[in-house]
Each structure stands twice: as C-alpha cells, then as structure tokens.
C-alpha cells in the first residue's frame, strides 16, 4: 500500500508577513502485513529541520519586535499625552479667536453696508452739487447780462442828464414867450427822468436780489462740498480698517488650518 501527503510550507519575515510558500510531499509505502516505511532522504530531513528552525527564529524575532513596539507605545503615550493636551488647548484658543474675528467681520460687514449707503448718499449729494453748480453758472450768466444792461441804462441816463443840463443852460430868445419855453422844457423833462429812472431802479433791485441768491447758493455749495469731503474721508478710513481686519482674519485662519496637521503628525507615531 502507498500513502502520499502534500504539505504547504510558508516562510515568514521578521515583521510577520508571508514571503514564500513551498510545497513539500511525503510518500509512505507499506505492505499489507508489514510496518509502513517513510521514504525521506537525509537532505530532505535536514532541509525540513532547517526550515522549522528558521520559522521558530522568525516567530521569536517577531514576538520581540512586538514587545518592543508595545513598550515604546506605552512610553510614548505617556510622554505625548501632555503635548496632545497642550495642542488641543492651543487649537481651542485659536478657534475662539476665529469666532471672535468672525463676529468682528460681521460687524465690519454691517459697517460696510453703512459705508455703501453713505456712498450712495454722497453720490446723490454730488449730483445735487453738480446741479446747483450748473444753476449757479446760469445765474452768473444772467447776472452778467443784467450788469451789462444796467451799465447801458446808466450810460443812457447820464446822456439824458447831460442833454437836460444843456437845455437848461441855453438862454431864451427875445420875443419868445416864457410860457411856451416852460412848456417845452416841461414836455422834455418829464420823459427824461420818469421811465428811465423806474427801469433803472427795477434793474438795480433785481440785481441785488440775484446777488443775494447767488451768495446763498455759493454758501450752500461750499457747505455741501465740505460735507462731501468729510464723508469721503470717513469712507476711506473705513475701507482701510476693513482691509486690515480681513488680512488679520486670513492669517488667523491659516494658523488654524496648520494646527490639525501638527496634531496628525503626532498620532501616527502612537497608532502605527
């Protein structure tokens, strides 16, 4: 009779991983009335003994390595516990800072809305100032025209007065009736002084009224320009402050994003 057996032999490394698999066979033959015989050569027996010895040594080395690793992890866990706690506290403080900065950012956004509203108001004010400026220029042109008209009427009045003085200075001719001369002078004196003086007085009053109106418009224009300059300065200051706070917030967020990587560098040493 004959009996065959096939063995699968695995060889392990120091880390406990399987590196090789060998197939070994053993054949035993015997007669029905005799003791079975094992047919193995000496080299096969030596190789089997060597292989078993190597497996035992590999398992012992793996056991020693695991014991050393366990001791290292126990020691490292105690030493890194305080460091992990300090890192967690630092992370908590940074989170609180970020929350504070976010609250400030919300306030800044609200202020930004106020600034935008102020800019809108300033734009409307600028449009109003431009309208007042154009109106002021129109009034100045009208005033210039009125001044020219007043100068013309004044010159005409002076010419009329000179002509009247010349008429009064002329002596009456002999034989001419005095009444007729007086009537002539009366007829000439009434149109010289009446309508021209009234028109001149009206133009002078209109000129004074326009001067007062132009002065009022000029003062309002100056006040509006000063107010616009102040608001523009406030908007510039707010923009600078918003930019500074945004830059600080970005820096804080960058610091917070770096902290988890530092903590993750510590955890693989403990759990690997």
* Helices assigned H by DSSP within the chain: 42-169, 178-271
Give pLDDT tens digits for 235-256.
888 888 888 888 888 888 887 7
Q: Check whether 141 has a pLDDT greater than 70.
A: yes
Residue 19: pLDDT band (50, 70, 90) is low
Q: Where are the domains of the chain?
A: 2-67, 91-164+192-271
Measured distance CA(124)–CA(118) in Å, rounded: 10
Token pair for residue 221? 């224009």
What mean pLDDT comes out for the span 97-104? Answer: 83
Task: Give the pLDDT confidence score for residue 139 in this predicted structure.
Answer: 79
Tell me the C-alpha to C-alpha distance, in Å, between residue 173 and each of 111, 127, 168.
94, 72, 13
In this structure, are residues 122 and 234 in contact, taking their beta carbons and an 8 Å threshold?
A: no
Give me the sheet containing 18-29, strands edge to edge: 2-12, 18-29, 37-38
In this structure, are residues 76 and 270 in contact, taking their beta carbons and an 8 Å threshold?
A: yes
Helix (H, G, I), strand (E, B) or coil at 1: coil
Task: Give the pLDDT confidence score for residue 243 in this predicted structure.
Answer: 82
Measured distance CA(48)–CA(205) in Å, rounded: 134
Q: What is the CATH number of domain 91-164+192-271?
A: 1.10.287
Q: Check whether 175 has a pLDDT greater than 50.
A: no
Task: Give the pLDDT confidence score for residue 193 in this predicted structure.
Answer: 56
Q: What is the pTM of this model?
A: 0.32
Q: What are phi and psi of 174, to 5 degrees?
A: -65, 140
Alpha carbon distance, N-terminus to C-terminus of the chain: 55
Residue 31: pLDDT band (50, 70, 90) is low
What mean pLDDT comes out for the span 192-200? Answer: 66
């Amino acid at each position: 009779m004959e009996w065959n057996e096939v063995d699968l032999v695995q060889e392990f490394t120091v880390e406990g991983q399987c590196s090789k698999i060998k197939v070994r066979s053993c054949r035993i033959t015997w007669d029905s009335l005799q003791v079975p015989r094992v047919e193995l050569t000496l080299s096969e027996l030596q190789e089997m003994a060597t292989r078993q010895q190597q497996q035992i040594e590999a398992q012992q080395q793996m056991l020693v390595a695991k014991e050393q690793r366990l001791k290292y992890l126990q020691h490292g866990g105690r030493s890194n516990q305080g460091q992990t706690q300090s890192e967690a506290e630092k992370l908590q403080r940074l989170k609180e800072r970020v929350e504070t900065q976010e609250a400030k950012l919300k306030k800044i956004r609200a202020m930004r809305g106020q600034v935008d509203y102020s800019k809108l108001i300033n734009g409307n004010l600028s449009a109003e100032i431009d309208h007042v400026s154009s109106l002021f220029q129109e009034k100045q042109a009208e005033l210039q025209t009125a001044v020219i008209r007043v100068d013309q009427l004044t010159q005409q009045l002076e010419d009329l007065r000179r002509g009247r003085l010349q008429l009064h200075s002329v002596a009456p001719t002999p034989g001419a009736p005095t009444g007729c001369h007086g009537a002539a002078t009366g007829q000439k004196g009434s149109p010289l002084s009446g309508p021209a003086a009234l028109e001149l007085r009206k133009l002078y009053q209109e000129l004074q009224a326009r001067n007062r109106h132009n002065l009022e418009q000029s003062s309002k224009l100056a006040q509006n320009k000063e107010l616009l300059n102040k608001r523009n300065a406030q908007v510039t200051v707010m923009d600078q402050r918003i930019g500074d706070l945004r830059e600080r917030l970005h820096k804080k967020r960058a610091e917070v994003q770096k902290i988890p990587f530092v903590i993750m560098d510590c955890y693989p040493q403990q759990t690997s």
